[in-house]
Amino acid sequence: MAKKMVHLIFPQKLIKEPVIYTMAEKYDLIPNIRRAKITETVGEVTLELNGTRENLEKGRKYLERLGVKVEPVVGDIIE
């Protein structure tokens, strides 16, 4: 099983939608929210994802298709 840490930026239209849950269910991923900040106009989430490399890639593409900005996280989260 592979692990990936990503920072997600959600547009206003997706803030109240179960995007992370839907992605996890659809692509058999295990999400662990490490940090989150939600306002009325934007949502930011640092997320650890566990799953196969193939499903991690499918999950990333799914989020991007919805309009979520996906950025890799390098070193600012305590293990």
Q: What is the pTM of this model?
A: 0.89
Q: Which of 23, 47, 53, 22 is nearest to 33 (CA)?
A: 47
Residue 74: count of CB within 10 angstroms of its CB: 8
The class (CATH top level) of 2-72 is: alpha beta
Average pLDDT over residues 2-12: 96
Domain borders along the chain are 2-72
* Cα–Cα distance for residue pair 65/63, rounded to 1 Å: 5
pLDDT in tens, 9-56: 999 999 999 999 999 999 999 999 999 999 999 999 999 999 999 999
